[in-house]
Chain A
Amino acid sequence: MNDLRFSLRNARVLGARNRSYGFFIAVTMAVALLSAGIVGNATTSAGTATRESSMMRTVEVDSTGATTTVVLNQAKIDEIRAMPGVVSVLPWMQSGTSLETETGEQVAGALWATPRMPVGQPPVVAVLPGRDADAALADDEVLLPGRLAGADLSGLLGRRIRVEYTRALTAESGEAAYRKALVVGLYDEAIGGRDGPSAMYVSERAAVAMAAAGRQVTPDALAARVGFPKVIVEVADAGQVEPVQRRLAAEGYNASSVQSQLTALPPLLGLLRLVGQVMTGLVVLLCAGAGLSIGAGLVRSRRRDIGLLKALGFANGRITRLLALELGLFGIGAGLAGGLLGVIALVAVRMAVQGRPLLGFELPDGLLLPPAARFAVLVLIPAVAMLAGGVWPMLRAARLAPDEALRD
């Protein structure tokens, strides 16, 4: 019979004698695993969302700041575009408009003609059949919000409309101007963004044309001389936001980003993470205590067995290894039981929150297991902690004089 098998048999007896320890270790482990699973997945999910969200890859530069005003014209746009980490620089502007259908029906509420950009835009919820939601807008196409001032605009999808905007005649007066357009899609106005819920998305050229008309200049002159109220700087990845933002600020631009606001864990999730950390610490303490107690118990209850093993020719080192194996196997057993309980709890949570966010976070599909390495560490913690707690009593037990042990 090899030592591993012998220890396995002894560990089963040890486990049966110490059920209460095993139970508490397993339950504590399960709670630690549960919180690690939820927090880990929610954090990963948040991280992925952050990485994937194009909004997280943008820096907004405003022409007016608290103390400075910068003309964000084409020259400045070119200057910013040349900065390391910058992918593109998109001019941003808005012009007030009102709409009516071809049949002359007025659409209640003002809409702001805004250039549709490839980054940081609210999601499109409906498009014309056969059209890609992310397709760039032609100069005679618009995207409208799903609702405007409480009114449902979905009836306008696919219809031709007339967009009324202002052409300035002097600094203080202007006249109505019109463009015809096709409503090719609707976006979700409930998703907050820089453009506001009453933006009407148009092509960049159409937006520039309307803005230029409002300033009594040509589109080229607007870009070259007047400039834009904002530009949106797209960077290569989320990690570039901070250095690009710092560089822009250093060069006198009024730059801001939304990345930092969205990466912090919400308070409840932070609390859950704390619970998980406390539980992990408790598992370590509980297991170390159990190791010390069970190890000391081994000295008391197994004196005769140890004496017998010595009489049978087992050396001290081998007896120490056997006792360590017993404790370690008991710890692994408790850890695996805790792991199983934790997985069951995670399955229950998965079923309970199916398709819904938990504590404000969207969780990924499938089992909410923590990363494999974290799982393995959690399952092994009881064994390691028990061994650490049991070292001293085990060494003492192995050094018992055999005749003394047998005499008991």
Chain B
Amino acid sequence: MSAPALDLDGVTKAFDRGGRTVLRGVRLEVRPGEIVWLRGRSGTGKSTLLTIAGLLTRPDGGTVRIGGTDTRGLGERELAMTRATRLGFVFQQHNLFGHLTAIENVVLPAVGPRAGARRRAADMLAGLGLAGRTNAAARNLSGGERQRIAVARALINDPALLIADEPVSGLDLESAGQVLEQFRGAAAQGRAVLIASHDDVAGRIADRVVVLSDGRLTADTPVATPEGA
């Protein structure tokens, strides 16, 4: 059996301001091909958990393993390389560079030969129905188009783990459905997907739902696939 794409073990995190403890010994595994939906009320630490899982911040305690590699001993450069090659991020506000074109945003983090990355990006955008928008400036695209481009950018280096923070927030149902389909496709190709979302539509594609409450995971249950889904 392969190692989990993400393995959080006893992760704790407190913020200096007021010493508030946000995460208290969180344990979470996400396996390749699995989509995990992280739920919880605002302020319960979902985003903090994602930034720790995404190696953007270090936990105060516990371990974070990516594909079986303990990340505690990694330096800044190795963490950056791990983020570039093994992790993909999708943010709530898509976070594209507005002055770059769609395809330039996608290839920006690409590792390896440029020509290959550009070809891959063009194929991905075509697969998302954005073939005619590859050279449009990101600032001129709709919210749904931007978020699909953000997903394509997260997948450009073929990461083992895709992390998404409120990826469908603010999108209409059709756009949200398209974005979620991208996640489903990524999981079908063997990638692990961790999605934090208030929105119940995430449940349509998730294999498991975990609930974060008061800094702890209080529930970890499979999601029943709706009939006909």
Residues of A within 8 A of B (CB): 1-2, 6, 9-10, 12-13, 304-305, 307-308, 310-318, 401-403, 406-407
A402 and B57 contact, CB distance less than 8 A: yes
Query: Which of the residues B48, B51, B80 comes within 8 Å of A314, measured between beta carbons?
Result: B80
Q: Is B84 an interface residue (CB 8 A)?
A: yes
Rounded to whole angstroms, the CA-CA distance of A406 and B52 in the bound complex is: 13
Rounded to whole angstroms, the CA-CA distance of A10 and B51 in the bound complex is: 26
A2 and B89 contact, CB distance less than 8 A: no
A311 and B57 contact, CB distance less than 8 A: no
Rounded to whole angstroms, the CA-CA distance of A97 and B51 in the bound complex is: 106
- Given A402-B56, A403-B57, verify A312-B89 contact (CB < 8 Å): yes
Q: Is B100 an interface residue (CB 8 A)?
A: yes
- Given A1-B100, A304-B95, A406-B91, verify A313-B111 contact (CB < 8 Å): yes
A1 and B104 contact, CB distance less than 8 A: yes
Q: Name the CB-closest residue of B to A407.
A: B47
Q: For chain B, residues 39 to 69, give those with C-beta under 8 angstroms from any C-beta of chain A.
A: 47-48, 51, 54, 56-57
Query: Which of the residues B76, B82, B95, B110 comes within 8 Å of A308, measured between beta carbons?
Result: B95
Known: A305-B97, A313-B83. 12 other contacts (CB 8 A): A1-B100, A2-B114, A307-B56, A311-B56, A313-B87, A313-B111, A314-B84, A316-B80, A402-B51, A403-B48, A403-B57, A406-B91
Query: Which of the residues A9, A307, A314, A317 comes within 8 Å of B99, measured between beta carbons?
Result: A9
Q: Name the CB-closest residue of A to B117.
A: A1
Tell me which residues across on chain A come within 8 A of B56, comparing CB atoms: 307, 310-311, 402-403, 406
The 5 closest A-B pairs by CB, nearest first: A313-B84, A312-B109, A315-B80, A403-B57, A313-B83
Tell me which residues across on chain B come within 8 A of A318, comparing CB atoms: 80
Q: For chain B, residues 90 to 120, give those with C-beta under 8 angstroms from any C-beta of chain A.
A: 91, 95, 97, 99-100, 104, 107-111, 114
Rounded to whole angstroms, the CA-CA distance of A315 and B81 in the bound complex is: 8
A313 and B81 contact, CB distance less than 8 A: yes
- Given A2-B114, A401-B57, verify A312-B84 contact (CB < 8 Å): yes
Rounded to whole angstroms, the CA-CA distance of A1 and B153 in the bound complex is: 12
Q: Name the CB-closest residue of A to B105.
A: A1
Tell me which residues across on chain A come within 8 A of B157, comparing CB atoms: 313
Tell me which residues across on chain A come within 8 A of B54, comparing CB atoms: 311
Rounded to whole angstroms, the CA-CA distance of A311 and B86 in the bound complex is: 12
Q: Is B71 an interface residue (CB 8 A)?
A: no
A-B contact pairs, 14 of them (CB 8 A): A9-B104, A12-B99, A308-B95, A310-B83, A312-B83, A312-B109, A313-B83, A313-B85, A313-B111, A314-B80, A315-B81, A402-B51, A402-B57, A406-B51
Query: Which of the residues A2, A304, A317, A403 comes within 8 Å of B51, measured between beta carbons?
Result: A403
- Given A2-B114, A403-B57, verify A315-B77 contact (CB < 8 Å): yes
Rounded to whole angstroms, the CA-CA distance of A310 and B57 in the bound complex is: 11
Query: Which of the residues A9, A403, A406 comes within 8 Å of B100, measured between beta carbons?
Result: A9
- Given A1-B104, A310-B56, A406-B56, verify A315-B76 contact (CB < 8 Å): yes
Rounded to whole angstroms, the CA-CA distance of A312 and B94 in the bound complex is: 12
Q: Name the CB-closest residue of A to B82.
A: A313
Q: Choose among B54, B56, B84 the residue with the greatest number of A CB atoms under 10 Å from its CB.
A: B56
A6 and B108 contact, CB distance less than 8 A: yes
Return A403 CB to nearest CB of chain B, in Å: 4
Tell me which residues across on chain A come within 8 A of B57, comparing CB atoms: 401-403
B108 and A312 contact, CB distance less than 8 A: yes
Q: Choose among B54, B97, B99 the residue with the greatest number of A CB atoms under 10 Å from its CB.
A: B97
Tell me which residues across on chain A come within 8 A of B87, comparing CB atoms: 313
> In terms of DSSP, what is the predominant structure of the interface of chain A?
helix
Chain B window 148-182, contacts with chain A (Cβ cutoff 8 Å), 1 for yes, 0 for no? 00000100010000000000000000000000000
Return A329 CB to nearest CB of chain B, in Å: 14
Tell me which residues across on chain A come within 8 A of B108, comparing CB atoms: 1, 6, 312
Tell me which residues across on chain B come within 8 A of A305, comparing CB atoms: 97
Return B142 CB to nearest CB of chain A, in Å: 20
Query: Which of the residues B76, B77, B99, B153 comes within 8 Å of A312, measured between beta carbons?
Result: B153
Tell me which residues across on chain A come within 8 A of B109, comparing CB atoms: 312-314
Rounded to whole angstroms, the CA-CA distance of A13 and B157 in the bound complex is: 27
Return A8 CB to nearest CB of chain B, in Å: 11
Rounded to whole angstroms, the CA-CA distance of A310 and B104 in the bound complex is: 17
A311 and B89 contact, CB distance less than 8 A: yes
- Given A6-B108, A304-B95, A311-B54, verify A316-B76 contact (CB < 8 Å): yes
Tell me which residues across on chain A come within 8 A of B82, comparing CB atoms: 313
Tell me which residues across on chain B come within 8 A of A315, comparing CB atoms: 76-77, 80-81
Rounded to whole angstroms, the CA-CA distance of A13 and B85 in the bound complex is: 29
Query: Which of the residues B80, B85, B107, B110 comes within 8 Å of A310, measured between beta carbons?
Result: B80
Rounded to whole angstroms, the CA-CA distance of A308 and B100 in the bound complex is: 14
Return B169 CB to nearest CB of chain A, in Å: 15
Q: Name the CB-closest residue of B to A12.
A: B99
Q: Choose among B57, B80, B111 the residue with the greatest number of A CB atoms under 10 Å from its CB.
A: B80
Q: Name the CB-closest residue of B to A305.
A: B97
Return A197 CB to nearest CB of chain B, in Å: 73
Q: Name the CB-closest residue of A to B156.
A: A312
Tell me which residues across on chain B come within 8 A of A406, comparing CB atoms: 51, 56, 91
Return B147 CB to nearest CB of chain A, in Å: 14
Q: Name the CB-closest residue of B to A402.
A: B56
